[in-house]
Amino acid sequence: MDAFEALAEPNRRRILDLLCAGERPAGLLGKTLAISQPGVSKHLRMLREAGLVESRASGQKRLYRLVPGKLAEIDAWLEPYRQFWAGRLDALEAHLEREQ
Amino acid sequence: MDAFEALAEPNRRRILDLLCAGERPAGLLGKTLAISQPGVSKHLRMLREAGLVESRASGQKRLYRLVPGKLAEIDAWLEPYRQFWAGRLDALEAHLEREQ
DNA sequence: CAGTTATATATCTCTATGGCGATATATTGG
DNA sequence: CCAATATATCGCCATAGAGATATATAACTG
């Protein structure tokens, strides 16, 4: 499971949104999002395998936190597209007209 | 199909990468990526439904181009996460320590 | 109009995955 | 050691989607 696939699922994005505010135990995530316990666990596993989160044990609980670098890959992939909504539209369109 | 789901598929990201260089006919995309003709057509349909690309007829061909705004939504979703890899790591970790 | 090119759609198969209940594992408290 | 809590895993089912083949539609060419 790569990062792009992991982000395709809305609940997984919401989990990341919650973790954005800080480290959280698995159970709390499930309660907040109203997902079944096995559901959260499976999503968390995928997020782990995608390298987007990591966990540590703390007593009975398992605390999850974001892994900073992974979303940066997606950010990097987006980089070439930023010119499209950053004012270079006219230049691009002119370029296309010339090509085709 | 929303933008996140659309990006989950590697071939669709490669199609977008190609379109990043300018408007292209469907057939050329398939040839470049070595995908079957119906395959490209289906991917392009999904990209259309996700609002990521649009097409116009030009003779027998159908020219596809990026829709600027749609990827910006994903860019916007990433915004809160940028602080994680932009030097605010120490502050965040301190915050977490205090919380749990 | 017939034939060719370009693209879209239909259909099928296969695999992956999301949601669920049940169960297994681990940690803590008595 | 036993009960309770927290999480992970398993098995099942239903569905979505990716690939492939076949067919349909549309436009250009002679």
A58 vs B: CB within 8 A: yes
Whole-number Å distance between alpha carbons of B55 and B26: 9
A9/chain B closest Cα distance in angstroms: 7
Confidence (pLDDT) at A69: 85
pLDDT score recorded for residue B84: 73
pLDDT at A89: 55
Please, how many CA atoms are within 13 Å of residue A90, restricted to the half-sphere of its CB? 1
What CA–CA distance (Å, rounded) separates A4 from B71? 13
Residue A67 pLDDT level (bands cut at 50, 70, 90): very high
Q: Is the CB of B14 under 7 A from strand C?
A: no
Average pLDDT over residues B39-56: 97
* Pick from B68, B11, B1: nearest CA to B43: B11
Residue B59 has pLDDT above 90, yes or no: yes
CB of B41 nearer than 7 A to strand C? yes
Residue A99: its pLDDT value, please?
46
Q: Write down the pLDDT at residue A93.
A: 54
Residues paired with residue B54 on neighbouring β-strands, in sequence order = B65
Of residues B100 and A43, more confidently modeled: A43
Q: Do B8 and A5 touch (CB under 8 A)?
A: yes
Record the tokens describing residue B27, joined without a space: 């057939």
pLDDT at B64 over 90: yes
**Residue given tokens 């061909």 in the structure block:** B61
- Chain C footprint positions (protein CB, under 7 Å): 5-10, 17-22, 26-28
Residue B17: its pLDDT value, please?
96
Cβ of residue A13 closer than 8 Å to a chain B Cβ: yes
The amino acid sitting at B82 is R
C-alpha to C-alpha distance for A88 and A23, rounded to whole angstroms: 39
Dihedral sign, CA of A19, A24, A27, A31?
A: negative
Residue B82 — very low, low, confident or very high, per pLDDT cuts 50/70/90? confident
